[in-house]
Amino acid sequence: MRILLVEDEIELAAALRGTLNRRGYVVDHVRTLEQARLASQEPGVRAVLLDRRLPDGDGLSLLPFLRAMADPPPVIVLTALGQTVERIEGLDAGADDYLAKPFELDELLARLRAVSRRRAGLTPEPLTLGALSFDAVHREAQIDGRPLQLPRRELALLDLLLRRAGRVVLRETIEAAMFGFDDAPASNTLDSHVSRLRRRLAERGAGVAIHALRGVGYMAKAE
């Protein structure tokens, strides 16, 4: 899952980015509203974490722009402006959730999972293929009920392939979900990640094959 973090406090942004990366999220970080408008249009952005006190204005002014998008991402406001009237203002402006600083990182992660569930409309069932299952909300994979530990980029890859099992997922779509705009992957980086994921699944007997269509993309199918 790719997240856009709009936060001008460098230390807080670094801490959030590190925690989210470790939990399997890909994070793009920007510091201003102007940068956020551009970054939010990157393919694959699935949620926005938005500060209010930004150098070029109130973060709430970004909400109409996001809501006008064809597939608007859910927005959690993260701010020191935590009075009741300010929370109401943020929610009425269109935020999906509002969390006052300082906050616990575990609470933020729980709220991210909650907005993801609401976006789907229901608590989604795990994605399954062969002996493999993947909980897209909690970012957890299992094979025959046993945990499968994967690096964050391989989690993002697995998520996309299982959501579209039996169909080809274009390279461009996968790269947009796996890499932030600061990552600049080399031409063979995606292929290397696919190769490692394919090997892990085979070693654990997942019963899942990942097929390559040269120059086009990849497809997951049950063996």
Query: Exposure pattern of 94-126 as b/e (b: 16+ CB <10 Å)?
Result: ebbbbbeeeeeeeebbebbbbbbeeeeeeeeee
Domain end (from 120, 143, 159): 120
Percent over 70 (pLDDT), the chain: 96
Q: What tens digit of pLDDT does each residue of 78-112 get? A: 999 999 999 999 999 999 999 999 999 899 999 99
- Bigger pLDDT: 101 vs 123: 101
The mean pLDDT value for 168-196 works out to: 84
- 186 vs 62, residue with greater confidence: 62
Q: According to the model, what pLDDT value does residue 121 have?
A: 54
Res. 133: pLDDT tops 70:
yes
Domain harbouring 108, CATH code:
3.40.50.2300
Containing structural domain, residue 214:
127-222
Asked whether residue 164 falls in the same domain as residue 105, the answer is no
Q: State whether 38 and 110 are in the same domain.
A: yes
In this structure, are 7 and 104 located in the same domain?
A: yes
Residue 46 confidence (pLDDT)? 87
**Number of structural domains found in the chain:** 2
pLDDT of residue 162: 92
**Is pLDDT larger for residue 174 or for residue 5?**
5
Q: What is the CATH number of the domain that holds 203?
A: 1.10.10.10
Domain co-membership, 205 together with 105: no
Would you state the pLDDT for residue 177?
80
